[in-house]
Structure 1
Amino acid sequence: AGQGLASPRKWVTVGQTERILWGECQGSGSKPYQTQIDLSEPAFKCSCPSRKFPCKHALGLFLMLGPKVGTVTGEPPAWVTAWLATRAEKAAKKQEKIEKAAEAPVDPAAAAKRLADRFGKITAGAADLQTWLEDMVRQGLAAAQTADGKFWETPAARMVDAQAPGLARLVREIPENNGPEWHVGALRKAARLHLVLQATQRLDALPDDLRRDVRQAVGVPIKEEELAPLPAVKDRWHVLGQTVEEEERLKTQRTWLIGEATNHAAPVLEFAYGGQPLKSTLVVGTQFDGELVFYPGSQALRAAIRNRAAETTESHGLAGHATVAAALATYADALARTPWLETFPLALANMRLVKDGENLLAVDSERRILPLEASDARQWLMLSLTGGHPAGLFGEWTGTVLLPRSVWLEGVVHGL
């Protein structure tokens, strides 16, 4: 849609500075749409009624002026400077809120009591779910495969009532997307659920980090305010993957960041409900200097951005693991610490992509392989981007397949 608006004849006025693109696009009404882009994140705003974000006007403006980034055509108009001032004010208020949260007194006894009360309900629900799971396995997976939706939804609803939405999700996922060997995928997911249930019922005997992992696995959220006292990790962060999932009108965006110096990878999560747009300020293939604070746990596999520099530049990829063996050794260490781990980030260097029938394989210099899971169209896209040459690859390893999120070749990162 944006391609059709990437022409000067569609615009009444356009302008740019090193940071801002703006323009007025003549639509069907008498008043042109005012479109503006802040390249530092990037961020978009348009006066059109579209619920898409960014809208076609923002995409058209970016396609038209993007190649000329750095050109200065004059001072931005008042409606652009007002938007920038509003953004700066919101950023300042957000930072002030974080600082106040860090300084605010916390009643640890009251917080501990609330958490204990909730885990009392969760533990009781977990015991019931353990009985259900054992009955399912005892009756055989063939019976479970032919069961109707109520068979899965009843225990899932029970977990929601027990304030354990994470356990409800794990139940609902058992029958989904298992492929031709349904029993293999279902048994693997049932085993993961069993491990989480066992840990939940032995919570007091677990070390603190693993206890926090259990808390996140069962669906007890860690609020951003709880991150305020934690130290931040400063690095140059590369944006190497992004996915958006929607469930019951709640959109969840996972954006994977990897530190250039620390090599620490973690997703930043963003949520939007109903027709609300995601902010989408992180773009695959870019990098920025900033500070991340990691959610507590044995893996620290989720992060929040505490501070970031205004400037965002192009990423040229990372070194990554040199061999499949090195990558899998890192995964094995993570799995030993958190045995119900669902996915794990892996960045690999100098991988050749090879088509094997309907499958796509990543092959390293030692001729060891990692199987990739992607649609046929995405497989051919990756093959066309790499052209048989060694390339960098980033994805989420499930224990059996790699879900590719980006590839990079000759210093150019391509999101998938």
Structure 2
Amino acid sequence: MTDSSSDLIMAVVWSSEQILALAPDAGSVKNGKALATASKWQNLGGTERVLWGECQGSGKNPYQAQIDLTEPAFKCSCPSRKFPCKHGLGLFLLHTSHTNLFTQDALPSWVQDWIDKRSQTTQKKEEKQKAPVDEVAQAKRQQKRSDKVSTGLADLDLWLQDIISSGLADTQAQSYGFWDGMAARLVDAQAPGLARRVRQLAGIANNGQADWAGELLVALSQIHLIIQGYQRLESLSPALAAEVRSQVGWTISQDELLGLFERGEVTSQQDEWLVMGKSLTEDPTSNLKTQRVWLWGQNSQQIALILNFAVRNQPIDVSWLPGSLVPTELIFFPSSYPLRAIDRNRQDARQPGAIPGDETIIVPFALAKPLEEKRLPAQRGFANELAIDRYRQALIQNPWLETFPLLITDVTPNYSEGNWSIRDRENNYLPLELADVRGWQLLALSGGKPITLMGEWDGQKLKPLSIWHDGGYWQANIGEVW
């Protein structure tokens, strides 16, 4: 151990509330807290970059847990499929409360190997970014794919015409293979975006709702509009053409986006971004986890979306802490209504304060400033009627929007005939996508008084992600229907 404890000082001083915000579910919170005890650990150590320790589990050998503090990133030898696992959370919490226990500063071989591997991965990524692009070979690959996509879309167009000519009622008699067969053909044609939309049609046709036919017709119309747009790409504006290509399934890597930025072909925004909410979904067919992080620019009043992906047990980015303010420059992907972005020079987030006291809902916090000084979107024209109007304008520019962030102020949770909604002072109602138990928790949190609520709007229901009330902030449980 060195004479100074500075080696253990992190660039960001993490509070226990922030650490618990990284937990994948409530069970991990409970188990992580239980492991934040010195008696359960041995060989604890740490430097400015990494923490490590060994925790005895049910097996013969102790589990080796380690944390790269620069992101943070976690690794543990336990068999858990959760990320971070309870050992990583326990180790992090223990360091926050008992830094003096981390007496070793010489990295064990298993820690050094992990750090070296991460450094090598970063170096390879940087070298790849600097490597010259074979533009001729790239153009050939793109043309080959373009030909396959065009053929696939022509087949899809005929398939849609058959559905319309036969009548929507016939779709309810179709097996899943009817929909999946066309989706598989689109995957082969390298149009995964349209394949996903086709698979969703099966659920609409058989959802048992009274307005299923109307929903199906809208979904079919959106697909038809994508086909028509793709067939007329050259006549579209660059932004709209980019959006149509994206809907088909053409992707732009972060490296390509940075190249577009350097050539001045996409926009960026430097701001202090409020992390309004975070959601996590998983596709059971592909085991692909998708994390959406919604941001609000304090000065620009701009909305931004950070998308992160992970397959199976791969870790997913946990560095965007709901409720924190993050100074950074965001680079936006080309689109007719730019939402998705990547961060270019993120700085340390402003730190949340103490927990308000209700641990039944994960991740409460309060900034040092009073609530009225937080400059929430609601106080900058992003609430209620203006929020809905912003959604309308976004839909005009991008008719294929599937989710959109709404922040609604001065509303009260309402329960009627088995359904949850929010009600404003003019008795306007907005339906919520809310599990029953979560609805009662939301009502208890509000105390029957108006709250500020942020969530994802899909055109039908609002899925709550964050709640501001009585000087505090609460985040819905990530990965659960709230």
TM-score by length of 2: 0.75
Displacement of 1:183 after TM fit?
A: 2.2
Q: 1:356 to 1:152 in 2, by over 3 A?
A: same
245-254 or 162-171, larger mean C-alpha shift: 245-254
**Residues 1-400 of structure 1 correspond to what in structure 2 (within 5 A)?**
1-12=31-42, 22-29=52-59, 31-37=61-67, 41-63=71-93, 66=96, 68=97, 76-79=104-107, 83=111, 90=118, 94=122, 97-98=125-126, 101=129, 105-106=132-133, 111-112=138-139, 114-176=141-203, 178-181=207-210, 182-229=212-259, 230=261, 232-239=268-275, 240-258=277-295, 259-310=297-348, 313-314=351-352, 316=366, 318-320=376-378, 321=381, 323-400=383-460
3-state secondary structure, aligned to 1:78: coil
Q: Is the 2:43–2:104 contact (alpha carbons within 8 Å) kept by the matching residues of 1?
A: no
One-letter code aligned to 1:340: W
Q: 1:270 to 1:88 in 2, by over 3 A?
A: farther
Structure 1 unaligned segments of length 5 or more: list them: none
Distance in 1 separating the partners of 2:116 and 2:334? 30
What are the Cα deviations for residues 225-280 of structure 1, in whole angstroms up to 9, with x where unaligned? 11113164322333311213124333232231313333333332333334433343
Distance in 2 separating the partners of 1:144 and 1:165? 22
Percent identity at matched positions?
Answer: 41
One-letter code aligned to 2:411: M
Displacement of 1:170 after TM fit?
A: 0.8
One-letter code aligned to 1:248: T
The answer to whether 1:411 aligns with 2:472 is: yes
Q: Is the 2:466–2:473 contact (alpha carbons within 8 Å) kept by the matching residues of 1?
A: no
One-letter code aligned to 2:274: H
Q: 1:62 to 1:372 in 2, by over 3 A?
A: same
Q: How many residue pairs get matched?
A: 413
Distance in 2 separating the partners of 1:13 and 1:93? 27
Q: Is the 1:323–1:364 contact (alpha carbons within 8 Å) kept by the matching residues of 2?
A: no
Distance in 1 separating the partners of 2:52 and 2:423? 45
3-state secondary structure, aligned to 2:345: strand
What are the Cα deviations for residues 168-203 of structure 1, in whole angstroms up to 9, with x where unaligned? 111110121545223233222222212212212222
Distance in 1 separating the partners of 2:138 and 2:382? 45
Displacement of 1:23 after TM fit?
A: 4.0
Structure 2 unaligned segments of length 5 or more: list them: 1-30, 262-266, 353-364, 367-373, 478-482
Displacement of 1:98 after TM fit?
A: 5.0
One-letter code aligned to 1:253: T
106-115 or 88-97, larger mean C-alpha shift: 88-97
Q: Is the 2:47–2:105 contact (alpha carbons within 8 Å) kept by the matching residues of 1?
A: no
148-157 or 348-357, larger mean C-alpha shift: 348-357
Displacement of 1:41 after TM fit?
A: 3.8
Q: Is the 1:241–1:257 contact (alpha carbons within 8 Å) kept by the matching residues of 2?
A: yes
Q: Is the 1:237–1:288 contact (alpha carbons within 8 Å) kept by the matching residues of 2?
A: yes
324-333 or 268-277, larger mean C-alpha shift: 268-277
